[in-house]
Structure 1
Amino acid sequence: MDRSIVLALHPHREAARRAALTVATMLQREGITPVMLAGEHAALISYTGPIDTHIHVVPDDYMSGTHGDSELVMVLGGDGTMLRAARHFHASQVPIMGINLGHIGFLAESERKDLKTAVHRAANREYTVEARMAVDITVSHGDEVIHQDWALNEVTLEKNRETAMIEVVVGVDARPVSSFGCDGVILATPTGSTAYAFSAGGPIVWPEVEALLMVPISAHALFAKPLVVSPSSRLGVEYLDRRPAVRASLWCDGTHTFDVPPGSRLEAVRSAAPVHFARLNLGPFTDRLVAKFQLPVAGWRGPQDAA
């Protein structure tokens, strides 16, 4: 059977374009067909002009379901590119491997300097597959479901720019916990605990810990602390309609997806289908955390070997 690997990239960044052409050439030498979505390929050649490397171009909805036949998605870019690829390809359950060309690149598995090694190991299937939790989101108004969505890192209900504050009631498993005014509420996975939730004061949760997080943003309340709950729990945020002119927005993994009217209820639950990451490095998450955030660890006198 012919083998193929999808290349996903930020085509408007020169580093990603150069990396894509390098990877495509290397895959061809390994007897593997490089595949690219039509929109990204068109943007790529709009910068580079015609290219010698043969890339198999597929429709933009390729592998948005379970019909795709590529064995791996290689993402060339930063965390934003990784999140866009996860959103597009997660339903296919094909593993995703990130090559960091951005800044922190917390979701990436390899850095720019290790690009050739990563391609070689991908071609030889020298990686393990790790499942990461995602969340399904439902927005309802009264008895009507008005929007459904999905996120790998987090879903956020946030005030619009012209709004001073929104008022919410938050709850867990159909039971109320607290009400307050705030700039928004983040509902996150362990993968998202190092992203927006972390910036808002939430805890860092190790990837192997199965949990859901609720983190208020700039809440005006005595009790508005981050919550860590069971992965089987249902997180709820009710957006009160005391000021009908006020508007809020739903953001999924940093992308605005829906304008939420007052009086709506947002619920987030663990997605039935996880996102699969292709892992090259099996070192402890602690080391990744220290390296990516450049944390000071001088003075540590404990064991040097990973448990």
Structure 2
Amino acid sequence: MSEFQNIGLIGRTESSSAVMSLTRLMAFLEKEGYAIVLEEETSTAVRHSARISPRDKLGELCDLVIVVGGDGSLLSAARALAKFSVPLLGINRGRLGFLTDITPDEVEQKVGEVLAGKYMAESRFLLDMSVSRNGSLVANGSALNDVVLHPGEFIRMIEFDLFIDGQFVYTQRSDGLIISTPTGSTAYALSGGGPIMHPKLDAIVLVPLNPHTLSSRPIVVEGSSEFELIIGEQNITKPYVTCDGHDQVITKPGDRIRIHKKPHRLTLIHPLEHNFYGICRSKLGWAGGA
């Protein structure tokens, strides 16, 4: 008997191709005798008689959650479900697919292998973010990829102080800062000139966005580090903070943004042949060897 009996499903409902793959996956799971629990919004896009659950309750009901969509869909599921320690498996119906690595034409084969115990599990950490104003908490969020400070609606240089583990690092004037996990190192941080980090690394990278000095470069620090950004009092604009491109917060001069590793880790499930370097070759256009 499979260790996974109750299977939660989350689909990218605005994508017709994702809905097609979701319907195909449901037919396979029902045929094999698995209990399906559909995420509430996902349930509106398919015909079914399955149990329905709000997203934030799936982790209590399921042994495995399968996400049908792109990396953005999996990031959203990860933020909601990490606290439950329920593993996630991704079927790619997006573009790059660094996290959702099963292709639509191999759904039955690869999902069947995973359910039969033929898979590899990978642990990833997330970041917690909070914004304080005059000593009071005004917003918080979490991210699997990155927390980003940026100018928001207007393209203007912003000024902020950076502290790591209570030690002053620098006052920077730039378009902002990307604080990224290894998972996010192949996303926005890579576009900003940051290094690619292997997912197993316990490290965090800070990537300045267009800094107003040629000497400012990405910094890689240990994963247990705690960060504090203090928004400069002289800023004309009000910088934004986003977590994985969501949970947008508009800051004010003097606000303190604190970021640290989340206590709960995410377990990603991959097919046995999953290979990080192979994915980089495929998704980033690296040259193949013999």
SS at match of 2:256: strand
Q: 2:266 aligns with which of 258, 275, 291?
A: 275
CA distance in 2, matches of 1:284, 1:114: 17
SS at match of 1:125: coil
Question: Are 1:164 and 2:166 matched, yes or no?
Answer: no
Counterpart AA for 2:278:
D
CA distance in 1, matches of 2:143, 2:56: 18
User: 1:156, 1:251 within 8 Å by CA — same for their partners in 2?
Assistant: yes
CA distance in 2, matches of 1:131, 1:72: 15
CA distance in 2, matches of 1:119, 1:86: 19
Counterpart AA for 1:184:
G
Map 1:281-300 → 2, pairs under 5 A? 281-297=272-288
CA distance in 2, matches of 1:272, 1:2: 24
Distance 1:283 1:41, change over 3 A: closer
User: For residue 32 of structure 1, what is the aligned residue in structure 2?
Assistant: 34
User: For residue 301 of structure 1, what is the aligned residue in structure 2?
Assistant: none
Counterpart AA for 1:62:
K
**How far 1:148 sits from its partner (Å)?**
2.0
**How far 1:200 sits from its partner (Å)?**
0.5
User: For residue 237 of structure 2, what is the aligned residue in structure 1?
Assistant: 246
User: 2:175, 2:211 within 8 Å by CA — same for their partners in 1?
Assistant: yes
State TM-score, norm by structure 2: 0.93
**How far 1:166 sits from its partner (Å)?**
1.1
SS at match of 2:28: helix
User: For residue 43 of structure 2, what is the aligned residue in structure 1?
Assistant: 41
Map 1:47-66 → 2, pairs under 5 A? 51=47, 53-63=48-58
User: For residue 112 of structure 2, what is the aligned residue in structure 1?
Assistant: 120
Distance 1:70 1:11, change over 3 A: same
Q: 1:215 aligns with which of 207, 214, 220?
A: 207
CA distance in 1, matches of 2:216, 2:258: 18
Task: Map Cα deviations across residues 9-56 of structure 1 (whole Å, 9 max, x no partner).
Answer: 1111011111111111110111112211222212x04xxxxx2x4322
Q: 1:136 aligns with which of 107, 111, 128?
A: 128
CA distance in 2, matches of 1:176, 1:31: 57
Q: How many residues align?
A: 288
SS at match of 1:106: coil
Task: Map Cα deviations across residues 56-80 of structure 1 (whole Å, 9 max, x no partner).
Answer: 21234323xx6x1311111111111
State TM-score, norm by structure 1: 0.88
SS at match of 1:219: coil
User: 1:93, 1:276 within 8 Å by CA — same for their partners in 2?
Assistant: yes
CA distance in 1, matches of 2:24, 2:243: 32
CA distance in 1, matches of 2:132, 2:216: 24
Counterpart AA for 1:201:
G
SS at match of 1:15: helix
**How far 1:137 sits from its partner (Å)?**
1.2
CA distance in 2, matches of 1:283, 1:117: 14
Map 1:78-227 → 2, pairs under 5 A? 78-227=70-219
User: For residue 17 of structure 1, what is the aligned residue in structure 2?
Assistant: 19
**How far 1:215 sits from its partner (Å)?**
0.7
User: 1:30, 1:123 within 8 Å by CA — same for their partners in 2?
Assistant: no
User: 1:134, 1:153 within 8 Å by CA — same for their partners in 2?
Assistant: yes
**How far 1:157 sits from its partner (Å)?**
1.1
Task: Map Cα deviations across residues 201-244 of structure 1 (whole Å, 9 max, x no partner).
Answer: 1000011111011111111123321110011111222211213x
**How far 1:86 sits from its partner (Å)?**
0.8
CA distance in 2, matches of 1:61, 1:136: 17
CA distance in 1, matches of 2:82, 2:35: 21
User: For residue 221 of structure 2, what is the aligned residue in structure 1?
Assistant: 229
CA distance in 2, matches of 1:99, 1:281: 15
Please, which runs of 5 or more residues in structure 1 have no aligned partner?
46-50, 299-303
User: 1:211, 1:228 within 8 Å by CA — same for their partners in 2?
Assistant: yes
**How far 1:170 sits from its partner (Å)?**
1.6
Q: Could you list the runs of 4 or more consecutive aligned residues of structure 1 that deviate by over 4 angstroms after TM superposition?
A: none
Counterpart AA for 1:34:
I
Distance 1:271 1:61, change over 3 A: closer
**How far 1:109 sits from its partner (Å)?**
2.6
User: For residue 48 of structure 1, what is the aligned residue in structure 2?
Assistant: none
State percent identity of aligned pairs. Answer: 28
Task: Map Cα deviations across residues 251-306 of structure 1 (whole Å, 9 max, x no partner).
Answer: 111114321122112121111111110121354422221122121245xxxxx6xx
SS at match of 1:206: coil
**How far 1:163 sits from its partner (Å)?**
4.5
Q: 1:266 aligns with which of 250, 254, 257?
A: 257
